[in-house]
Structure 1
């Protein structure tokens, strides 16, 4: 229920929602936190950010032992940070306490958060030294301590945070020298500005990048790279010749002792770290972490690369499903067949293409392994996120097997799912072509290289044939590479490549056009019906516009009373596919235009009151459309309804009172509409309702209905 105008104290009765797993009340006007929040022992996510909450943080939150995410940022909280919260080792995704008035020290119990990836306690009134126990938070990648009153030296123990990517210690009272070990960490950002640091600024690692570091406001610093514009450090001339023989001996002995002590300490540190990893029973936060895996770990994860774990194979590699024990994560392991000519080049191309790209519709790489197997043979593998719903080709052509080796039951993609998948693919290609520092050409777009996660979001994978065009190249204006034509897959590869033309982004556009036609016709470009001069492009073109419904995939479930709209939608989509798969590259659409056209497809208008006649309905899913006007009162006649999914529309007016008649309702999602008025008290009678999502609307700040103990997820905020 985020992003509304709900005000006043959060009712203490919320503590009766013992099954609640997610509570999102951010961006409202709540004023008090009840101690009864500690009764929500099943809570996984708690977000109360951007309210007017005052007082102290209830120590009772320490009872929420399932909590993974805690956000209390941008409130008026005061007092100290409860040690009970810092002892919650379950918190792993983020801990956001910034922009409050919290005081006292940062509790030493922070070392219990061994799996935490993101911590922000900035803009408070915290003081004292930075605790050495922070070094136990080995999963930390983002640490923000700025705008407090921390004092003392930057602890040497922070050198153990090898996964740290961003560190902000600015606007504190820190003193001493800038630790040289900070240059050994793989930091993307380091802010030490406005402290009391002195001495020489290192020049290795992150200190070599003037745009990644800030040390301004420390008046006694010197040295560093020229971009920092610091004064040179005073040179100290050697005076060894003035030292007595006795002093030389003393210095030599002291130096040897220090060296041996450091060596022993480093050895003990490695041993303890190894033991601590083995003892750790919690799942580390790996959402943003680049995993380090060995050949032995991958061998174990895939049961010895067994055939039972094989989920795909291609010209250069085989892909296995695996479980990494040390993080308890299901992954996909792509093992290169290095005996195949071109496999090593494919491995290098994929690594180069993936190392600097981040997009929700691109398959995320988690790790790379380059080693040797037990026979001494070279071994190379890439570890990816596992996509629970397999590849698009299996869904379009009903190919696949269950884990037990039995054929899967046919699975059909709905029309809106196919449209969403097409938009996802187009968005990823547009990012590769226009959103990266260098233009990236995928080169092998086809259904088997489009992976679907558990929410049916599409991710493009397999960059083994990808080409990168430098932005400084004069060819970029033409979207071309000076490389020879790449090898793709028959039917999807652009025809100009077969004539020796140079690689270009328009080659990917052609592949997308063919893929788009395949998604909505169910026919691949190498289907047996295509021969002589008939191909998928001409097959669709000849059917437009009057016979378009004859070529639509018969597996798409269509309602009879929507066929008029469906026909118009299909004509528009097929024309996009035709325009992208033109034989001449100069006649093809750009991906930006494709995205705009695809986004324009969607259901519009008001929801008919005749919907109430469909008494057999158990689920209504109309999300991501452009419906407006009010939700009809006749919805209350659908007594068998279990799910209402109306998010991301333009519904206005109030929530009807009579959906409370839908006694079997378990899921109600009205996020991101223009709904107004009060939240109906009648919703309190829905004894089976487990998820209520009302975020991003315009409700009045009243909340009088009695919460239900059946709730598992409650969204009143963003």
Structure 2
């Protein structure tokens, strides 16, 4: 790693405050994870291990190709800029020259797993908790968009939950600087385009244009609101159907919202149907086909604070 990049990880660049972080050797990583003995998650290009007796999560990424190395360094450049209570805290990284094929990123550990896990049938999140998670995620996006960062993969499995079930947005491997950019020139075919996002959450406008913007994040946020309301996943693999498609009659007002509410909420003391309708209205705006119609994150935060009694004091 160049001297410039090493210094970048420890100082303020262009007036943006960066997170306190450590630079660890590969031997440090091996000891902290007890020789990678406890795997807690895995993704397309990374594996996550528990470290420091359950206080730290270590994300191991391959950097064996130029493309993967660029993705790793871009994620690092973004992570060191972030400091928000609803974004997973970045603790440090490893760039040991002896391990050229893989790098480590260290984060705070969120013991309650992901929102995707907690929406599974065996768990129960109260309506008050769901509205708080939605509000905190909107605040995290407001913060990111305010410093010109697009997350690029807003989905339930990228929302970690801490001891108190607070939202911790994670995984900035698809994140980009700036408000708009093209992932590939317009002449590129859809078959050749590298698609950002995950099935059920990807903005159709992005798929048709290749244009990456903060409104892609807003679309993913709208899908998450539908998941919080229904308890269903963004994409039903058995039916091959998106949640946005199955919820279309409700969003259009052709079908009442009562029949689609997660059954686990019906006996919840804090449940309010008016608030469900308000959340559904926000979701409908967020997933509107035209990005120009979608609200910005600041508008979402203000709207939720005004319409949800439990959020009025936040």
Q: TM-score, normalised by structure 1?
A: 0.38
Q: Does 1:413 align with 2:125?
A: yes
Q: For the residues of structure 1 that align with 2:239 and 2:204, how far apart are their CA atoms?
A: 16
8 Å CA contact 1:316–1:340 kept in 2: the answer is no
> What is the CA distance between 1:340 and its match in structure 2?
6.9
Q: For the residues of structure 2 that align with 1:346 and 1:305, how far apart are their CA atoms?
A: 23
8 Å CA contact 2:144–2:150 kept in 1: the answer is yes
Q: Does 1:319 align with 2:48?
A: yes
> What is the CA distance between 1:428 and its match in structure 2?
0.7
State the number of aligned residues.
291
Q: For the residues of structure 2 that align with 1:495 and 1:341, how far apart are their CA atoms?
A: 29
Q: Does 1:332 align with 2:57?
A: yes
> In the TM superposition, what are the counterparts of 1:116-265 in structure 2 within 5 Å?
none
> What is the CA distance between 1:414 and its match in structure 2?
0.4
Q: For the residues of structure 2 that align with 1:333 and 1:579, how far apart are their CA atoms?
A: 37
Q: Does 1:540 align with 2:247?
A: yes
Which entry has the higher C-alpha Rg, 1 or 2?
A: 1
State the match for 1:499 in structure 2: 208
Q: For the residues of structure 2 that align with 1:417 and 1:429, how far apart are their CA atoms?
A: 18
Report the 3-state secondary structure (helix = DSSP H, G, I; strand = E; otherwise coil) of the residue aligned with 1:585.
coil
Q: For the residues of structure 1 that align with 2:126 and 2:155, how far apart are their CA atoms?
A: 20
Report the 3-state secondary structure (helix = DSSP H, G, I; strand = E; otherwise coil) of the residue aligned with 2:180.
coil
State the match for 1:393 in structure 2: 116
In structure 2, which of residues 264, 276, 280 is the aligned counterpart of residue 555 of structure 1? 264
Q: For the residues of structure 1 that align with 2:82 and 2:226, how far apart are their CA atoms?
A: 28
State the match for 2:4 in structure 1: none
State the match for 2:102 in structure 1: 379
Q: For the residues of structure 1 that align with 2:94 and 2:24, how far apart are their CA atoms?
A: 6
8 Å CA contact 2:26–2:96 kept in 1: the answer is yes
Report the 3-state secondary structure (helix = DSSP H, G, I; strand = E; otherwise coil) of the residue aligned with 1:366.
strand
> What is the CA distance between 1:601 and its match in structure 2?
3.2
> What is the CA distance between 1:349 and its match in structure 2?
1.8
Q: For the residues of structure 2 that align with 1:530 and 1:497, how far apart are their CA atoms?
A: 24
Q: For the residues of structure 2 that align with 1:310 and 1:362, how far apart are their CA atoms?
A: 22
State the match for 1:161 in structure 2: none
> What is the CA distance between 1:346 and its match in structure 2?
2.2
8 Å CA contact 1:465–1:486 kept in 2: the answer is no
State the match for 1:459 in structure 2: 168
Structure 1's unaligned 5+ residue stretches are 1-185, 189-208, 212-287, 399-409, 470-478, 604-623, 627-647, 650-718
Q: For the residues of structure 1 that align with 2:176 and 2:225, how far apart are their CA atoms?
A: 22
State the match for 2:189 in structure 1: none
Q: Does 1:363 align with 2:88?
A: yes
> What is the CA distance between 1:480 and its match in structure 2?
1.5
Query: Over aligned residues, Cα RMSD in angstroms?
Result: 2.8
In structure 2, which of residues 297, 307, 314 is the aligned counterpart of residue 591 of structure 1? 297
Q: For the residues of structure 1 that align with 2:273 and 2:66, how far apart are their CA atoms?
A: 47
> In the TM superposition, what are the counterparts of 1:654-673 in structure 2 within 5 Å?
none
Q: For the residues of structure 2 that align with 1:529 and 1:601, how far apart are their CA atoms?
A: 35
Deviations 1:495-550 (A, max 9, x none): 1222233211111111111111112211122114654xx64224324125562121
Q: For the residues of structure 1 that align with 2:277 and 2:32, how far apart are their CA atoms?
A: 47
> What is the CA distance between 1:482 and its match in structure 2?
4.3
Change in CA separation of 1:582 and 1:625 when aligned onto 2, cut-off 3 Å: closer
> What is the CA distance between 1:453 and its match in structure 2?
1.0
Q: For the residues of structure 1 that align with 2:311 and 2:88, how far apart are their CA atoms?
A: 27
Q: Does 1:305 align with 2:30?
A: no
**Of Structure 1 and Structure 2, which has the larger fraction of its residues in helix?**
2
> What is the CA distance between 1:557 and its match in structure 2?
5.2
